[in-house]
Amino acid sequence: MKKVGVLVSGRGSNLQTLIATAREGQLGGEVAVVISNVADAPALDKARAAGVPALVCDHRGQAREEHDRRMLGVLREHGVDLVCLAGYMRLLSSPFLAAWPHRLVNIHPSLLPAFPGLDAQRQAWEHGVKVAGATVHLVEEALDAGPIVMQEAVAVRADDTPDTLAGRILEAEHRIYPRAVRLLLGGRWRLEGRRFIADPE
């Protein structure tokens, strides 16, 4: 059974979807451990309610590399094959990134490369795009910039607010993140330059 580790900082709805998909036998692996850098993140309760080991690695008062080294130790103890960022709100250090070549993945609430960074749904709404969406991508040094694994477009409606738009983008996130993780764990894909190519099913 392939093992997934999930890093979180907040709500944990993507985490919950990954856990639920794994429980249904549709993820191609199990969520083996959850790490939060925030002690009272609701994501921790969601993991524990599902019986998934959930730990706090508080980043405060620690150098980034030291904090990341602790997380790396926990992930290795649990035999993790793939690390998923799911609302993890900190930059990762180079040694951590180097430990997971092509085995570290993130979900971002925009159609990258448009609107990287914080509050992407509001950025898209304020810009006035007609099509927004969500992106699952491999994580590299540059923020929100690694090879794109999967995307789903979300049409922007005239009466959308940033919140209503974010709500529909979140639904798209919950559809593509489990599918992308399953694809990555299955191993039937390759990179050509920065293009992620999945084998035909």
By the criterion CB under 6 A, which residues form the site for ligand GRF? 10-15, 43, 86-87, 107-109, 170, 173
| Smallest distance from ligand GRF to CB 156, Å | 16
List, in order, residues 6 or more apart from 21 with CB less than 8 Å away.
27, 178, 181, 182
Active-site pick, 59, 67, 108, 137: 108
| Smallest distance from ligand GRF to CB 199, Å | 26
Q: Which residue is nearest to ligand GRF (CB)?
A: 87
Nearer to ligand GRF, 184 or 201 (CB): 184
- Euclidean distance between CA atoms 153 and 134, whole angstroms: 7
Q: Three-state SS for 54?
A: strand
| Smallest distance from ligand GRF to CB 8, Å | 6
| Smallest distance from ligand GRF to CB 9, Å | 8
| CB-CB contact of 177 with 82 (8 Å) | no
What's the sign of the alpha-carbon dihedral 163, 169, 174, 178?
negative
> Would residue 127 show up in a list of annotated catalytic residues for this protein?
no
Nearer to ligand GRF, 127 or 188 (CB): 127
The enclosing H or E element of 42 equals: helix 42-49
List, in order, residues 6 or more apart from 117 with CB less than 8 Å away.
123, 143, 144
- Euclidean distance between CA atoms 34 and 22, whole angstroms: 14
Q: In this structure, what token pair is assigned to residue 13? A: 């709805």
Nearer to ligand GRF, 93 or 135 (CB): 135
Nearer to ligand GRF, 28 or 87 (CB): 87
Catalytic amino acids? 108
